[in-house]
Amino acid sequence: MRRLWSYLASGAAALSLSACVPEVAPEVSPRPAERQVAPAPEPSPESLAFARYYRAIEARLVSQGMLRTDGGQADAPFSVATLAANFERIALYDEYALAGGRFVQQQTPSRLRRWEQPVRIEPHFGASVSDAQQAEDRSILSTYATRLARATGHPISTVRTGGNFHVLYLDRDDQQNAGDMVRRLVPGAGEEVIREIEQLPRSTFCAVYAFSESGARPVYVSAVAIIRDEHPSLLRRSCVHEEVAQGLGLPNDSPAARPSIFNDDEEFALLTRHDELLLQILYDPRLQPGLRPGEAGATIRRIASELLGGPS
């Protein structure tokens, strides 16, 4: 159900840094004026239909025992060999390829990619997102960033401005006009990326696009994730977990990966212990950006063995 995209820009992707604007001291008055909050725009019939659709999807999946939040430790054990094989398939292959100006689902061998600079995750909200929902989204994103930093050993945090990993919470109406925002946040994003973001169909629950600089080592310098505001709470959180983790350097899915969110069967909603181990392997200094499938199998198995405490 969740069609997940990861994209490496062929052109340079500039970082977006918000300008600092000095605050102006308000005039002293006996009674401070109340902040005027503009009412959110009424959603279009299409956006309302999206919301009904996703509520039905979440309810159906949960009723079928899917979108699990327990982590799968009790019934989905995995071995060193399985963890190593899953890492190679998820980290060293791409799920989508760019063909004829469009992204098509096509698993292809790739290279290991990850971030070298600190990851600064910045949320952005469309006009449809209420203040209460924004506060909840910020809290979930901040807690998740802390968990990802602990798993990877890499500096990952949320910021209010100056981000390089942008998480956009948009409804259908804002999505169709998101091009200017994306161009501002990631000036190096190609028009094919803009077109895909604005035209994501209902069947694409969420998406992530990660960018590296042209001609440089294959390391990420910016990313944009799209989270639909029409999602009910569990699907919304599930999309955040998968897209942000994929944008750290795990771009592919594998039907063999279990327990994992990197599997399109929707069994697990949230990052699992298995997935944390994949992130630990990804950011282990013994592996270097540019690694291709089959080039460091022994090293990957050795790291997996150390993490699980078993023979390689």
Domain residue ranges in the chain:
61-308
The per-residue pLDDT for 5 is 42
Residue with tokens 């910045």: 122
Tell me which of 3.20.20.70, 3.90.870.10, 3.40.390.10, 3.90.1300.10 is the CATH number of domain 61-308. 3.40.390.10
Q: Which helix (DSSP H) or strand (DSSP E) does residue 143 occupy? A: helix 131-152
How far does Cα 170 stand from its chain's mean position? 14
State the Cα–Cα distance between residues 312 and 304, nearest whole angstrom. Answer: 7
Q: How confident is the model at residue 286 (pLDDT cuts 50, 70, 90)?
A: very high
* The pLDDT value given to residue 215: 73
pLDDT of 4 > 70? The answer is no
Contact (CB, 8 A) for 189 and 204: no
d(CA 60, CA 110): 35
Confidence tier at 213 by pLDDT (50, 70, 90): confident
Q: What is the mean pLDDT of the chain?
A: 87
Three-state SS for 250?
coil
The structure tokens listed for 143 are: 């807690």
